[in-house]
Amino acid sequence: MEQIPQFSGRLRKNIVTVPDIIGRCSGIKVFGQVLKSFLFSTDVAIIRNTNADAIIAVYPFTPQPVISQALITAADKPIFCGVGGGITTGARSVALAMDAEFRGALGVVLNKPVPNELIIKLRERIDIPVLVTIVSLNDDIKGRIAAGVDFLNVSGAEKTPDIVKKIRDMDSRIGIIATGGKTEESIGLTIQSGASAISYTPPTTGDLFKDIMKRYRNEK
């Protein structure tokens, strides 16, 4: 295989790298960009220091435009922003999605409880992909697809490969972004089950600091 010329810089060598096995995915294509690896994070420092193709920025609080703006401004790669779907829903989610699009997000992500009617409304109002999170084999997957969702974001813990396979058996063409776990074996199984792309949860800033601080302590 031909070696790829690269530049890593003197000051930015320490970055969060996604597992190489993710490169085996087909990827999803958005506005001409092929995206295979998604970093699941809202940590601005990590978002600025990763080789992932894109970012999924979903957090367990009410979505706020100021947070989306901060993440979009900081990111140097495509970002998909959470716009609710559970407690935050209806007209508010539509407004958040439109705001995210206007600010430069490449896509929006809806939580599991979102009604299919809201997916239909969003498809009418925005011109960026709509992702819906699938967490269980019992989710209304057919309804999501029928409502016009662009991609499915599967986060089912150890059941993720089973959910991906079920979706792929239903629809061979739908784009599936799925959590792959921490090991190459689990990621490979998720890809083999039919995932188009993999979302990867990085170590925390605290975990990343551990090795650095150990090195500092050992310096003379």
C-alpha–C-alpha distance, residues 69 and 72, integer Å:
5
Q: What is the pLDDT of residues 42-77, one digit of tens each?
A: 999 999 999 999 999 999 899 999 999 999 999 999
Q: What is the pLDDT of residues 38-50, one digit of tens each?
A: 999 999 999 999 9
CB 122 within 8 A of CB 114: no
* Domains along the sequence of the chain with CATH: 20-218 (3.20.20.60)
Q: Which of 203, 206, 157 is nearest to 180 (CA)?
A: 157
Q: What is the pLDDT of residues 123-161, one digit of tens each?
A: 999 999 999 999 999 999 999 999 999 999 999 999 999
Q: How far apart are the first and last CA of the chain?
A: 42
